[in-house]
Amino acid sequence: MNYNYPNIRILMVGVGGIGCEILKIVSKFTFQEFHIIDMDTIEVSNLNRQFLFRLEHRGQSKSLVAAETMKNMAPQLKIIAHFAAINSPGYTMDFFRQFDAVIMALDNAETRSYVNKVCQALGIFIVDAGSMGFKGQANAYYQGTVCYDCYPIATTQKQYPACTIRSQPSNCTHCVIWAKYLFTQLFSGEVGILEVEGFDKSQPNSVFNKFFKGEEMPNSIDIVEHELIKKYHFAERKETLEELQGMWFYAYDELNHLGQLQYDKDDDLHVLFIYASTALRCRNFKIEQYDYQQIKSISGNIIHAIASTNSIVAALEIQRLLSFIENHDKAKYYQDLNAASYVQTGKKERILTLKAAGPNPLCNSCFHNQIYSKVDFQVVKVVDLVNQLKNYLNSEINIVSLSRIIWDDEDEDDNSAIRDKKLNELFKLDLDNRLVIKSIEEKFLAVFWLQHLAGQAEIQFASTKISDKLLKFKNPLQHKKKERVRTQQEIKELKETEVMPIKNPEKFQTAAQKSTEILIDEEPIEQAEQNKKVELVID
């Protein structure tokens, strides 16, 4: 079945295992625009499940290659690719405003939380999914229901998805998973990238240079004079580069003579190689390194991605997206969407859907009062902004940013140090600055999004919500006849369905004829109207 949505823009964040499955599903769809964004590049480890990529794509942008591949698979699908991080400069709230829904296909909680915060502020519908081995989950988030940040995530993670292998790691866990993959490539007997490129594994120097020396790394490592280290006492101090190289070359030489191996976290030689590889990778990308025991623990608890699990959770995401688009005006469908689906593949295959908990009233991500202002950071002072916020909220206030107190009405000493500073001394010009405003009694008053706009000296406030997003949706089944007769059962169900208020009811016209009803779709709007973006103006 082909679905045609000529008025809808979608953003998909992440083009990994789940992202590729989503693109496969929507290859029969038509949207006004379908944007995809990912900061990562293609690794050989991706190829077993991310089927849009081939070996010749190694090192290239996932989003750009996926868009190019989809042009051949689905020429009618207008894909716009972005090779960047979603929280990088240029991808602010103004970028998100153009979209009607956001699909999250991510592999980390930090980025999920960021996307959730922006979409909650704007009132944009979100579908999200994740997988770990044979288990997966799919959720939908929208105004008035539980959001991704409503309830804290357990901090003691004991299993780690292998899908977090990255060409640009951002933490030590990514480096451990990469080191485990390197171990498999070198010593498991599988045909890996070294065999494909004709590398001689008996030359450890060339292998070292391939993986730890390169222009793409912020801190390339040259081989230095070192002694092979068979045993090392892992003290509190940080190892020198010579010591790490001594560990790596010793472990590599020993393992390379043992034949085909399966990683064993209880084998000291195996762990020594993982530890040294992780530490060197952290040096490459200037990342804080974990200690020996942490790296050993993570390396033994990596869960490999399963393509079938990714496929199922991706289908659940699209099912929720379609349900939202087709039934956006009916309250009962909102209730059905407010559920989490848990997937178990393998021998005990099942899909369990449970009603989600209610929203957390203490969650500032989905707090109802979200406002924004665009001002010139190089002109406006902190004290001027604070005074305007006090007048607007009619309260004494405390301002918090990323758990850092910016302003405390009861602390005159700290306030005096920043009151006459310009905003550009505290906030970034090219990013959204998200502030939480509380009363002196610690009661939530507002979530405040502050943006730089050159030449705007006057401070004004407006709601972040995009109130008319839902009104752009039309009947997607345009491949059917323009007139369709409802059955008596459909009429009965429709009358029993609570209908949510619509500002423009003429978009969905209904005509009655005897005991039946005929649906008449509104004719497609002009192209100029289709391309019109929703812009918020500060009153």
Determine if residue 19 is labeled as part of a ligand binding site: yes
Determine if residue 276 is labeled as part of a ligand binding site: no
| Residue 377 falls in which region: left (phi positive, over 0), alpha (psi -120 to 50) or beta | alpha
Determine if residue 346 is labeled as part of a ligand binding site: no
Distance of CA 64 to CAs 298, 318, 399, Å?
Answer: 32, 22, 40
Tokens of 443: 């009661």
Determine if residue 15 is labeled as part of a ligand binding site: yes
d(CA 306, CA 136): 10
Determine if residue 198 is labeled as part of a ligand binding site: no
Distance of alpha carbon 526 from its chain centroid, rounded?
34
Distance of CA 228 to CAs 80, 204, 244, 291, 521, Å?
Answer: 50, 13, 10, 21, 76
Determine if residue 474 is labeled as part of a ligand binding site: no
Determine if residue 16 is labeled as part of a ligand binding site: yes
d(CA 285, CA 453): 33
Of the residues 119, 163, 172, 282, only one is catalytic, namely 163
Contacts 24+ apart (CB under 8 A), 59-63: 59/167, 59/216, 62/15, 62/16, 62/19, 62/38, 63/15, 63/36, 63/37, 63/38
Looking at this protein, which amino acid is placed at residue 309?
Answer: T
* DSSP E strands, 356-412: 370-375, 398-401, 404-408
d(CA 369, CA 121): 9
Distance of alpha carbon 447 from its chain centroid, rounded?
21
Query: 118: closest CA among 158, 148, 153?
Result: 148
Phi, psi of 354 (to 5 degrees): -125, 145
Contact between residue 183 and residue 127 where contact means Cβ atoms under 8 Å apart: no
Q: Is the alpha carbon torsion for 25, 348, 131, 188 positive or negative?
A: negative
* DSSP E strands, 256-403: 302-303, 339-344, 350-355, 370-375, 398-401
| Residue 489 falls in which region: left (phi positive, over 0), alpha (psi -120 to 50) or beta | alpha
Residue matched to tokens 């357990």: 154
- DSSP, collapsed to helix, strand or coil, labels residue 244 as helix
Determine if residue 417 is labeled as part of a ligand binding site: no
* Strands 3-13 and 101-104, bridge-based pairing: parallel
Query: 469: closest CA among 102, 97, 140?
Result: 97
Determine if residue 150 is labeled as part of a ligand binding site: yes
Determine if residue 112 is labeled as part of a ligand binding site: yes
Determine if residue 282 is labeled as part of a ligand binding site: no
Determine if residue 110 is labeled as part of a ligand binding site: yes
Determine if residue 523 is labeled as part of a ligand binding site: no
Vertex 533: Cα angle to 445 and 469 (nearest 5): 55
Active site residue 172: no
Determine if residue 111 is labeled as part of a ligand binding site: yes
Residue matched to tokens 């406002």: 371
d(CA 274, CA 277): 5
Q: Is the alpha carbon torsion for 497, 503, 509, 510 positive or negative?
A: positive
Determine if residue 487 is labeled as part of a ligand binding site: no
Determine if residue 147 is labeled as part of a ligand binding site: yes
Q: What is the DSSP letter of 451?
A: E
Contact between residue 171 and residue 287 where contact means Cβ atoms under 8 Å apart: yes
Q: Binding site membership for Zn(2+): which residues?
A: 147, 150, 363, 366
Q: Binding site membership for ATP: which residues?
A: 14-19, 38, 46-49, 62, 107-112
Residues marked as catalytic: 163
